[in-house]
Amino acid sequence: MAFPSRAAVAVEETWDLTHFYTTEQQFEEALQQVQQQATDFEAQFAGNLQDSTTIIKALEALEQLRLVMTRIGTYANLHHSVDQTNTEHQMRAGAVGTAFAKIAAQTAFLQSDLLQLPAALLDETMQQAPQYKNFLAAILREKPYTLHPEVEKALAAFSGTWNAPYALYNTTKLVDMKFPDFTVEGKDYPMSYNLFEGDWELETNTDIRRAAFDAFSAKLRDYQHTTAKTYETHVKQEKTEADLRGYDSVLDFLLFPQEVDRDMYNRQIDVIMTELAPHMRKYAKLLQRVHNLDNMTFADLKIPLDPGYEPTITVEESRQYMQDALGIMGDDYQAMLDRAFDERWIDFANNEGKSTGAFCSSPYGVHPYVLISWTSRMNEVFVLAHELGHAGHFYEAQKHQNIFDARPSLYFIEAPSTMNEMLMANHLLKNSDDARFKRWVISSIVARTYYHNFVTHLLEAAYQRKVYELIDAGKSLHAPLLNELKRAVLEEFWGDTVTLNDGAELTWMRQPHYYMGLYPYTYSAGLTISTQVSQRILREGQPAVDDWLAVLQAGGTKSPAELAKMAGVDVTTEQPLRDTIAYIGSLIDELETLTNELDNQ
């Protein structure tokens, strides 16, 4: 059956957004006040940054402005994310976007004015207000790419327009795209984005699973040209800004804020494409053998190795798993987990119009919020642990850093989340000697943690790099070309081990990450770090945990390479990546051994 409306789901399955504002009137008043706050900020400080005392006052005012904006923006976005069919949510999000674009233009002078000041004055300011040292250093780092103040102001005024392709993508995907039922042997089955990605991809009945893939792909195909044009608009905007600012390429423009060079970026993609592929092909063949498939297709890659064994799990049961597996992180971390459940930080509901997948939003000064669509599958303990990893990261960082310094480079973002998946796996393996249970846990790590981050997102990254190379070369994008690029990446990785169903090439349409800069490759980067640190924790115990907590608390005060080094990992070399790939290979070898043992019992 179809998902219920948002109004029909149980309130205890939803998150509590009254932690932002208890009434809509409070939100409206806050939105009006922050616009006046921005106007006053411009009037007081534009053209007046002549001494360190005034600069510090301006930064203090900006800090307060951003705190209020974060609260307002997150409130609107979280409402919108749980029901994108709701016109009230759409209007609220639109009003915030318009207001924030104006505020961005009003505050754009700050960076330009600061960059015109003598370096000695900025050094003096950093010494007097060390809490703003990283913020000022980041501005100075951008100096070679900063444009005339009036140009910066104009670009900031268009910030809402720059975000339009992502909004259009989501509207197409979650509002306009309606999936009809599909039929197998005379029986009708419901279809939606969440149903396909949460259930039908994992369905063990091959006829139903493949029919679902065909039906899902057919509807995607109806929207491929609109989605391609939306995506082209987004990447061409990025290319235009990269050119305006004087970057050599759009890739360099997107890597700059990550504090990552092209070598680190390319290595993450190239080494995995070459060296992980043989291991994953071996895993695909194991799936084919266990499920007695005459042909291993792209539609079969997400099926569980032992579907008959995977138990269901309630939300309350998941809470105990979080406590048991993540308790190693200490009392404060455990208290955060309790609050997440007790205070309804998590939205578990399945309803029409809800965003697909899962995410964590961590507004400074409030607390993290987690979105997940709970289907009661046991593998969702890994999904929830992942998102609570983000929550724990920013919970710790925001206690120790100001709003400017709380968020690290995008390159590092997925390390704390995937760390929690590894801790969950370590806990489950440690507490059972049963061969079938061990196989289930290891297969969950391979099929969810590593497949999701080292295969799905990495193949997105390889495809995305090809797209940006075309854009840098002055080419245009269209659906047939994007389909061709995606299919070529899939063929390169899977070889002749996996038959690509008609529709596999359309998977570029399914991920929102392409509208978030160079995000996809960072999943494998983060998991490389967390794999190595989780192994340290197994070997060393508390000292490794203490190092990791210090990394979380550091927030964005260090580069991703420096953060990884604090945890004992050198990501400037190939070794951590190769060690992680070897570890994945060892897991797949163990799956094969356990399967052979179970088959011979």
421: confidence class by pLDDT, cuts 50, 70, 90:
very high
- Tell which of 146, 162, 178 closes a domain: 162
Q: What is the pTM of this model?
A: 0.88
Shared-domain flag, residues 149 and 289? no
For residues 39-43, give the mean pLDDT: 97
**583 lies in some domain:** yes
**364 lies in some domain:** no
Shared-domain flag, residues 258 and 407? yes
Cα–Cα distance for residue pair 211/208, rounded to 1 Å: 5
Residue 433 has pLDDT above 90, yes or no: no
- Residue from 271, 232, 265, 190 nearest 508 by CA: 232
Shared-domain flag, residues 403 and 515? yes
Could you tell me the CATH number of the domain that includes residue 38?
Answer: 1.20.140.70
**215 lies in some domain:** no
| Residue 312 β-bridge partners | 377
**272 lies in some domain:** yes
Name the helix (H) or strand (E) containing 595.
helix 575-599
Could you tell me the CATH number of the domain that includes residue 462?
Answer: 1.10.1370.20
Q: Residue 5 has what DSSP assignment? A: P
Shared-domain flag, residues 422 and 307? yes
User: What average pLDDT is seen over the chain?
Assistant: 94
Cα–Cα distance for residue pair 276/254, rounded to 1 Å: 26
Shared-domain flag, residues 135 and 277? no
597: confidence class by pLDDT, cuts 50, 70, 90:
very high
pLDDT at 432: 81
Are 569 and 533 within 8 A, CB to CB?
A: yes
pLDDT at 110: 95
160: confidence class by pLDDT, cuts 50, 70, 90:
confident
Task: Classify 182 as helix, strand or coil.
Answer: strand
Q: How far is CA 509 from CA 35, 192, 220, 450, 513, in A?
A: 36, 15, 7, 21, 10
Shared-domain flag, residues 255 and 153? no
Q: Residue 344 is encoded by which pair of tokens?
A: 């309804």
Residue 301 has pLDDT above 80, yes or no: yes
Shared-domain flag, residues 129 and 277? no
pLDDT at 379: 82
Cα–Cα distance for residue pair 332/564, rounded to 1 Å: 22
Shared-domain flag, residues 118 and 256? no
pLDDT tens for 344-371 read 999 999 998 898 889 999 999 999 999 9
Q: Half-sphere exposure of 571 toward its Cβ, with a 13 Å CA cutoff?
A: 32
pLDDT at 562: 97
Residues in the chain: 601
Residue 601 has pLDDT above 80, yes or no: no
Cα–Cα distance for residue pair 223/479, rounded to 1 Å: 10
Are 547 and 567 within 8 A, CB to CB?
A: yes
Handedness of CA 349, 354, 359, 361 (dihedral sign): negative
pLDDT at 198: 81
Name the helix (H) or strand (E) containing 56.
helix 52-82
pLDDT tens for 528-558 read 999 999 999 999 999 999 999 999 999 999 9
**197 lies in some domain:** no
Name the helix (H) or strand (E) containing 136.
helix 133-141
**428 lies in some domain:** yes
pLDDT at 343: 98
Q: How far is CA 437 from CA 384, 434, 453, in A?
A: 20, 5, 23
Q: How far is CA 310 from CA 57, 305, 424, in A?
A: 57, 10, 16
**354 lies in some domain:** no
pLDDT tens for 121-131 read 999 999 999 99
Q: Residue 200 has what DSSP assignment? A: G
Shared-domain flag, residues 152 and 283? no
Domain that holds residue 133: 6-162
Residue 1 has pLDDT above 60, yes or no: no
For residues 36-61, give the mean pLDDT: 97
Shared-domain flag, residues 435 and 533? yes
Cα–Cα distance for residue pair 388/385, rounded to 1 Å: 5
- Tell which of 111, 132, 162 closes a domain: 162
Percent of the chain with pLDDT over 70: 100
- Tell which of 132, 162, 192 closes a domain: 162
**542 lies in some domain:** yes
- Residues 6 or more apart in contact with residue 234 via CB below 8 angstroms: 165, 166, 514, 515
For residues 481-505, give the mean pLDDT: 97
For residues 157-185, give the mean pLDDT: 90
For residues 413-424, give the mean pLDDT: 94
Percent of the chain with pLDDT over 90: 86
Provide the 10 A C-beta neighbour count for residue 572. Answer: 14
User: Into how many domains does the chain fold?
Assistant: 2
For residues 220-234, give the mean pLDDT: 97
Provide the 10 A C-beta neighbour count for residue 270. Answer: 12
pLDDT at 410: 92
